[in-house]
């Protein structure tokens, strides 16, 4: 494995959503990630059967029954020589299973133990179930995402699950590894999606604190309130985006739209934004998306077509940078960011549960007799 985290070993308890995404990022950056999948998920499926599981790329899989004491012992032995442990259960679950921080960090004081939850390890809601939309709601941003006089709009599950969750886990792990290089000690990370969403909302807090953020949805310059920062439908029922915030870009946009600034209100006259939006709506509806691309793509007006996922990988810019890559017929985002000296590579395809069980056990010092005994006891699969 290449990448800046080459040589770092991660043990991840298999799960859904943000924790696997965070582990995927670590694997993208070169870490050797071993995912502990449930034993009952192992069915001997061929490697090709898992190729659509983008989350699973870059990992090896061992199938373990964590309700079996022998299975718990396997995980403990894996983490004895690991650098990082990642789990995404509700608070207290790993303690009950026997793989909590006290169980593992006492055996390996250098271990970075990363815990991913929605609400955090403590607080009134810590034990409650939740999803991206709930964390986004409680932290504040969802109330401000949406158009004027309309209900709040969930922005897929990108913000809490993956931005405030998985990505925060990855940066937290990297920071803990840097600190460990000087202290020699690992530590436990409490990664909560509600905290991550609040952190991502720093620009809103900044604007709110300085008194230029309106609480009503769709009335600010970045939330579709302003005519110069919005999406517009084209004549062929497609969409384009405009983000001409700065005066020079707005001036360039007006020139491209053949509008005379002398005949228009000031760019930031908020009372005139609705009328200007109607005017822009009519103008953009007069041409197709490809017409607007031809007219605006090479001008400094902060323009881009609104591309569906099926189309985005083939856009000339994305294609030139290989922003998306094809791995065994599955189009997926390439690792990011890009490192000049230690580039990341995708050289380990997703694997079905338990595909590397014997390989991993052998690597960690279990002999053939022990492996067979673990299998017969139902500890591994």
2 to 12, 31, 66, 181, 327: CA distances (angstroms): 19, 8, 31, 20, 17
Q: Which residues of 326-349 are buried (b: 16+ CB within 10 A; e: fewer)?
A: ebeeeebebbeeeeeeeebebebb
| Helices marked H in 223-347 | 247-256, 273-284, 289-296, 316-321
A 10 A CB-CB count for 259 gives 15
Does the active-site annotation cover 131? yes
280 to 67, 91, 92: CA distances (angstroms): 61, 51, 54
Residues 351 and 358: their CA atoms lie apart, in Å, by: 14
Preceding omega of 337 cis (within 30 degrees of 0):
yes
Does the active-site annotation cover 161? yes
Which position among 80, 103, 131, 362 bears the catalytic label? 131
Burial class (CB in 10 A: 0-12, 13-18, 19+), 288: middle
Burial class (CB in 10 A: 0-12, 13-18, 19+), 324: middle
Residue whose C-alpha is closest to residue 239's, from 298, 290, 276, 278: 290
Which position among 37, 65, 161, 223 bears the catalytic label? 161
Backbone dihedral angles phi then psi of residue 372, each to the nearest 5 degrees = -60, -40
The catalytic residue positions are 131, 161
């Amino acid at each position: 494995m290449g990448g800046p985290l080459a040589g770092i070993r991660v043990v991840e308890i298999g799960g859904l959503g943000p924790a696997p995404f965070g582990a995927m990022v670590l694997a993208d950056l070169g870490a050797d990630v071993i995912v502990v999948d449930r034993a009952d998920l192992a069915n001997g499926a061929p490697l090709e059967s898992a190729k659509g599981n983008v989350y699973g790329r870059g990992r090896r899989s061992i199938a373990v029954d964590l309700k079996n004491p022998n299975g718990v012992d396997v995980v403990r032995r894996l983490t004895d020589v690991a650098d990082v442990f990642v789990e995404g259960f509700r608070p207290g679950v790993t303690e009950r299973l026997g793989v909590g921080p006290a169980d593992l960090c006492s055996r390996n004081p250098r271990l970075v133990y990363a815990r991913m939850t929605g609400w955090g390890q403590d607080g009134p809601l810590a034990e409650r179930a939740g999803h991206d939309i709930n964390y986004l709601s409680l932290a504040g941003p969802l109330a401000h995402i949406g158009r004027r006089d309309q209900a709040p709009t969930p922005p897929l599950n990108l913000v809490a699950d993956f931005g405030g969750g998985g990505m925060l886990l990855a940066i937290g792990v990297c920071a803990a590894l840097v600190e460990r290089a000087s202290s020699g000690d690992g530590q436990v990370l409490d990664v909560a999606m509600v905290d991550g969403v609040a952190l991502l909302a720093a620009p809103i807090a900044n604007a709110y604190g300085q008194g230029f953020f309106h609480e009503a949805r769709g009335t600010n310059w970045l939330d579709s309130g302003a005519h110069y920062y919005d999406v517009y439908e084209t004549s062929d029922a497609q969409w384009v985006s405009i983000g001409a915030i700065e005066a020079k870009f707005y001036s360039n946009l007006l020139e491209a739209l053949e509008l005379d600034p002398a005949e228009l209100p000031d760019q930031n006259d908020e009372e005139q934004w609705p009328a200007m939006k109607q005017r822009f709506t009519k103008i953009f509806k007069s041409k197709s998306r490809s017409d607007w691309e031809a007219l605006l793509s090479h001008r400094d007006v902060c323009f881009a077509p609104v591309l569906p996922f099926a189309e985005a990988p083939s856009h000339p810019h994305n294609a030139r940078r290989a922003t998306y890559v094809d791995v065994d017929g599955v189009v997926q985002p390439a690792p990011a960011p890009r490192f000049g000296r230690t580039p990341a590579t995708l050289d380990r395809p997703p694997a079905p549960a338990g595909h590397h069980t014997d390989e991993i056990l052998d690597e960690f010092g279990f002999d053939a007799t022990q492996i067979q005994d673990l299998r017969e006891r139902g500890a591994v699969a």
